[in-house]
Amino acid sequence: MPRIAFALLLLLLTGCSASTRYNFKFDILSFIPQNQRSLNIPSGYYLAVYPNLEGQLVPLPISLDILERGQIAIQGSLVNTGSIPMTGSYEIRLAPESDTNLNDNSGGDVGLGRTSFNVAAGQSQSIASSVNLDATQNSAAFNIIKSGSFRVAIRVEVNSNGGRFDLTAAQATVIGRPFALIK
């Protein structure tokens, strides 16, 4: 019996160490009301920051002393309801909680994963972007996430006869350790 108790104690003590990595996934889409997950695109040139200029506030309910890396990923579709090709681009915008304009490139907002598209008339196209964040790759965005809560949006720029952008998934992932032995 003492061996079993010692083995259990050893397992508990090694369960959370300075080298333990935690992987937290946050469903950003759950913060966006269902009726705001689609963007109607009018005819002509159109620029929008979606769901709005302030972006969606994503509160990180965790406390990691050492954030090692992160990822922002979105999925959706573009539907061209017009009679000419729908061309343009989209990008993920990220900003600190205090920045309430994610399209002015001031206050800390940054653009990530800019992707061009060309959707034929009457057709649809799936979109998917995944942006990795760490101290060397997209470091400005990584520092925004490290600070805690942040804002996220999608900037869409389109030339078309009309269409729709539907967001079907948006997720943030952070990986880190709960504490460091030496700070």
User: What are the structural domains of the chain?
Assistant: 21-176 (2.60.120)
Q: How would you write 9-33 as a 3-class SS string? A: HHHHHHCCCCCCCEEEEEEHHHHCC
d(CA 98, CA 53): 13
Q: State pLDDT tens for residues 32-74.
A: 888 888 999 999 999 999 889 999 988 876 665 677 888 999 9
Are 77 and 117 in contact by the 8 Å Cβ rule? The answer is no
* Claim: this prediction has a pTM higher than 0.85: no
What digits encode the pLDDT tens for the residues 125-146?
999 999 999 989 899 998 888 8
User: Which sign does the torsion angle of CA 36, 38, 40, 44 carry?
Assistant: positive
Average pLDDT over residues 162-172: 94
Q: Decide: residue 37, CB within 10 A, 0-12 exposed, 13-18 middle, 19+ buried.
A: middle
